[in-house]
Amino acid sequence: MHPLWTEALNTLRSHLSEESYNTWIAPLCFAGVDASGQLTLKVPNRFYADWVNAHYAAIILEVFAAGVPEPAKLHCKWEVDEGLQAQLQAQVERERQTDARDASRSGAAEREMTRPALERKATATAGRASAVSAVAPATTSAQLNPKYRFDTFIVGPSNQLAHAASVAVGASPGRRYNPLFMYGGVGLGKTHLCNAIGHQIRADRPAARIVYVSAEEFTNEFIWALRNHRIDAFRARYRSACDVLLMDDIQFLAGREQTQEEFFHTFNALYHADRQIVVTSDVFPQQIPEMQERLVSRFQSGLVADTQPPELDTRVAILQKKAEQEGIDLDAAVAHYVAQVVKSNVRELEGTLLRLAVKAELLKQPLSLELARATVAPQQSAPMRRGSVDEIQRVVCEHYGLRISDLKSKGRQRSVALPRMVAMYLCRQRLQLSYPEIGDRFGGKDHTTVINAVRKVTRLVNDDVDMNAVLDRLNLSLNRSA
Ligand code: ADP
Ligand code: MG
C-alpha cells in the first residue's frame, strides 16, 4: 500500500468514530496518485463519492500534501468501481435477507422501515459521528456523458417529438414540460437526450444542481442509505440539493415498492418546487409492470414522448455523424449499405460501424463495401442454432476454464461471476427463457440476479470490445456444436 495512503487512513481512523470509519473509509480503494497531483480513489457509488468528497477529502489531501512536490495541484478523482459496487450490493442483500428472516419471525416485516423511525435513527447517527456534519453532500456535478449532446443527436421523424421536448426542457427547465417522460425501445436515444438536456441546462445555468441517475443507481443508493442511516443525506441529494432530476430507465423500479414510495416523495418535493424532472423508460408509463398507479399518473401529467427506430435516411445520417466523431473514413455507399442491413436500433448501428472500423484497421484495408458485406451480412443472417442451457454452460465453462458447478455455485469472485453472467446472458438471448427459469438452471438464483446479469453483460457488449470478441467466439462455438 502507498505509505501516504496508509498514513491518511491512520489519520482518518483517529479523527472518526468507528462507525463512520467503517461506513465511509474502509470501503474506499486507493488507486494511486499521479504526477499531476491527481489522487484516484475508487468508490462503490456516486452518492458515496459525494459524501466522502465533501467530508473527508480535505483530510486525505492534507496528508498527501506533505509528500508530493506540488501540493497546490492535489485533487481527488472519484471512480465508481463495479467490483466495489457489487460487494456493497452483496452486503446490502445479505443484510436484507437477515432482516427479512428476523422480521418474519417477529411478524414485523415493515415496522423497522417506517419513516419516523428511520428519521430518528438518521438524526441520532448524524449527531454522533464527529466529522460528519448534518449537511447535505456537496453539490453533485452530474456525471453526464460528454458525447451525448444535442449537436451529436440526429433528428428524424422517429425521434422528432422527444427531441423537440428535450430542447424545450433544456432551454427552460421546470416550466412547460414537467415532467418530461420519454419512452422507447433499447438503443433509440433516450439516454442520449436525457444527457443532452443536462448539458444544455448546465451551459446556460452553471449553478444549477443537476442530478443524472439511473433508477438502478437510485435504488442502490436508497437501500444503502437506509442500511447506513444516511437517509437524510440521500434525501438532501435528491430533494433539497437538486434543481434538475434526470432519472433514466425508471422501469427498473418495477415491483420495488419501497423505492417507488421514496421516488414518489422525491418527485412531489421537486415538482412542487418547480424543479425539472425528466424520466425515461423502455415502455409507456402504463405498461411498466408493477408500478404504483399514482406514479404512473404523475408520469402522464406532463409530456410523454416516444423514440422509435429511425428510418433509413436517419440511420445513414447517424452513421455519418458517428464516423465523423470517431474519425472513421466512411464511404457513402458503405454507410448506405450498413444502414439498410442494421435496422433495429442505433446502438447496434454504431456497434457495427465500430466493428467494421476495427476490422479494416486490423486487416490494413480500407473500409470498403466488400469488407462491409463480408462482415455485416453473416452477422445479420446466420440462422442461429439455439442450443440448450446445458450446452451454453458447457461452452462457457470450456472458454473460461471452469466447472459447471462453479456456474451454479454462489461464488461471487469475478473469475466466476463474470462467466456466470455471460452464460445467463446467452441463455436469455439464444433461448429466450424467462429470468426465473434461467435462475433455476443456475443453482436456484433469484430472478433479479439474472436480470442484473443480463443488464450488465448488455452494457459490456456496448462498451467493451473484448466482451464482443468473447461473445462472438461463444456464439460461434454454439452455432457449430452439434
Ligand atoms: P437508449 O437510452 O434509448 O437505450 P441511448 O441513448 O443509449 O439509447 O442510445 C444508444 C446509442 O445510440 C448512443 O450511443 C447514442 O448516442 C446513439 N444514438 C441514439 N439515437 C441517436 C440519434 N438520433 N443520433 C445520434 N446518436 C444516437
Ligand atoms: Mg438508456
The 3-class SS string of 10-54 reads HHHHHHCCHHHHHHHHCCCEEEEECCCCEEEEEECCHHHHHHHHH
Model's pTM, two decimal places? 0.61
Ligand nearest to the CA of 160: 1
| Ranges 35-44, 49-58, 425-434: which has the least confidence | 49-58
**What radius of gyration do the chain's Cα atoms show?**
24
99 confidence band (pLDDT: 50, 70, 90): low
The pLDDT of residue 113 is 35
Q: Is the CB of 315 under 6 A from ligand 1?
A: no
pLDDT at 238 over 50: yes
How do 303-307 and 210-214 pair as beta strands? unpaired
Q: Ligand 1 pocket test: which of 149, 192, 199 has the largest number of ligand atoms within 8 Å of its C-beta? A: 192
Q: Is the CB of 192 under 6 A from ligand 1?
A: yes
Residue nearest (by alpha carbon) to ligand 1 atom 11? 347
380 confidence band (pLDDT: 50, 70, 90): low
**Bridge-partner residues for 184, per DSSP?**
307
What's the average model confidence in pLDDT over 337-355? 89
Residue nearest (by alpha carbon) to ligand 1 atom 13? 347
Report residues near ion ligand 2: CB below 5 Å: 190-191
Specify the residue for cell string 408509463.
285
d(CA 424, CA 443): 12
Residue 415: which H helix or E strand, with range?
A: helix 414-431
Cell matching residue 395: 461452452
Cell matching residue 467: 466482451
pLDDT tens by residue, 81-98: 888 888 777 776 666 565
176 confidence band (pLDDT: 50, 70, 90): confident
Angle at alpha carbon of residue 323, lines to 319 and 328, rounded to 5°: 140
The pLDDT of residue 298 is 96
Q: Please, where are the H alpha helices in 228-311?
A: 231-235, 257-272, 293-299
Terminal alpha carbon distance of the chain:
51
Q: Ligand 1 pocket test: which of 149, 281, 316, 346 has the largest number of ligand atoms within 8 Å of its C-beta? A: 346
d(CA 409, CA 415): 12
Ligand nearest to the CA of 193: 1
d(CA 460, CA 468): 8
Q: Ligand 1 pocket test: which of 181, 188, 216 has the largest number of ligand atoms within 8 Å of its C-beta? A: 188
* Contact between residue 204 and residue 171 where contact means Cβ atoms under 8 Å apart: yes
Other Cβ atoms closer than 10 A to 388: 13
> What is the distance in A from the centroid of ligand 1 to the CA of 186?
9
The pLDDT of residue 62 is 85
Residue of 79, 85, 266, 271 lying closest to 174 (CA atoms): 271
SS3 at position 345:
coil
Q: Is the CB of 190 under 6 A from ligand 1?
A: yes
Atom of ligand 1 nearest to the CA of 192: 6
Which residues fall within 8 angstroms of residue 433, CB to CB, at 6 or more apart? 389, 427, 441
| Ranges 20-34, 115-129, 410-424, 450-464: which has the least confidence | 115-129
> What is the distance in A from the centroid of ligand 1 to the CA of 272?
31
> What is the distance in A from the centroid of ligand 2 to the CA of 458?
11
What's the average model confidence in pLDDT over 360-383? 80
pLDDT at 47 over 80: no
